[in-house]
Amino acid sequence: AQSVTQPDIHITVSEGASLELRCNYSYGATPYLFWYVQSPGQGLQLLLKYFSGDTLVQGIKGFEAEFKRSQSSFNLRKPSVHWSDAAEYFCAVGGGSNTGKLIFGQGTTLQVKP
Amino acid sequence: GAVVSQHPSRVICKSGTSVKIECRSLDFQATTMFWYRQFPKQSLMLMATSNEGSKATYEQGVEKDKFLINHASLTLSTLTVTSAHPEDSSFYICSALTPTGLMRTQYFGPGTRLLVL
């Protein structure tokens, strides 16, 4: 079955510290992978996406993610977290069928301590 | 990134009335849009796929007569919650899918908070 797992429901980091949010997927075909961020009461904003090519993808707001096919992972990283990064983060996978449909993980809530 | 708008951002209505939510793709034409529902502290639940010029495709368990979707143009999809009841209160989010190609991406609207009294 196709699925996305974000093992960490809630993560707290100190401002300035590094961040890694985990994402594992199960998908039978070539996966297209996305990370979105959602601030309270808002829609989702696209941080970055992976379709092919270089497995290290750069996104907005200083985020990057690395696609590791052998581990079925697409972890999101940021070297130095800012207080404004506190939000809900969703990993999603879509497929080569080109329907555009996404399967979302349950999300990870990021709290940033001053 | 691309911009998708939703209107209204917040609506309160009485039980039994209908509510229409608009989703607009502002800088690209979207033949496909999606409607999601999100409960507090949860992920997004796909309700339906809105296709321009044809009927929407509903996910299992979603009542198509309850949640009417119309995709009248390449930039506008509407979701009408008919005869709304308190259990329909939720956060509704739409997304627009970039045109056909290898890197199709969903861009999301800001969401609509619906409260049914």
C-alpha dist (Å) from residue A15 to A21, A36, A107, A111: 15, 20, 21, 9
pLDDT of residue A62: 97
CA of B7, closest CA in chain A: separation in Å?
13
| Overall average pLDDT of the B41-61 stretch | 93
**3-state class percentages of chain B: helix first, strand second, coil last, to nearest 5:** 5, 50, 45
C-alpha dist (Å) from residue A57 to A34, A52, A69, B116: 10, 10, 14, 42
Chain A residues with CB within 8 Å of chain B CB: 32, 34, 36, 41-46, 49, 51, 60, 90, 94, 98-102, 104-107
pLDDT higher than threshold 70 for residue A31:
yes
Please, which pLDDT band fits residue A52 given cuts at 50, 70 and 90? confident
Q: Which residues of A touch B110 (CB under 8 A)?
A: 42-43
pLDDT of residue B102: 64
